[in-house]
Structure 1
Amino acid sequence: MTTPRPNLTVIRCQDIEASAEFYRIVGLEFEKHRHGSGPEHYAASDGTWTFELYPASTKFPASTSTRIGFAVGSCDGVADRLREAGFSLITEPADSPWGRRAVAVDPDGHRVELSSPLPT
């Protein structure tokens, strides 16, 4: 039996451009998409997983309680770039049992965990 794995994550955003900027700093490369008459949105894919940013609407409000985690090359480097761009961190980079870890807040209030291996 194959173990299920995530292949799609969609979050709704109040300001899709600000959210795209945040996630670009994290390291995602987006393309604009539109499916049929649906809304224009951003999608980043590595071939096995797709992360999409859709504009929030009355029917689909911003999904602020979702927590998202990204393995990044340098937790400290991404945290620095996010801070420099005016985004907030609620947990500064620190060593943990799971590696170097920080938690940032995207423009809609999602808590975004950044982790990288501990230096050897």
Structure 2
Amino acid sequence: MTVTARIEQTPYETHISTDTQVIVCDEPAEVGGGDKGMKPGDLLAASLGACTVITLRMYADRKGWPMTSAVAHVDLENDPLTQRAKMHMRLIINGNLTEEQRERLLEIADRCPVHRILENPIDFSTTLVR
């Protein structure tokens, strides 16, 4: 999977695309952007939140559980002094679920693919294409 980010002349407005989708990423007006999309760090937190609720939906549907909705509020903090980032997620799971089902869904939330990627070390490589 390749995701492409492209910036041109409009300050900080970046178009992010896959083969079939396009979204806009930007910076707030107070730092010179046009505030036309989420900031890059917000997109990272959004990826975790989206993956989590999708995973919960898939699991609840597979089990036939009456989950009507799931909401993930994700906060991302980065501490440059400790060189550590922290993500905190608050989940709201709605539906006529038993306490055992809710506890199981909480366990499943931490097993979404993006969560698993983020909790492991990540290697980076960047090359310049000429």
**TM-score of Structure 1 vs Structure 2, range by shorter chain:** under 0.3
TM-score, length basis structure 2: 0.26
TM-score, length basis structure 1: 0.28
Higher relative contact order at CA 8 Å, sep ≥6: structure 1 or structure 2?
1
| Greater strand share, structure number | 1
Larger Rg: 2
| Greater helix share, structure number | 2
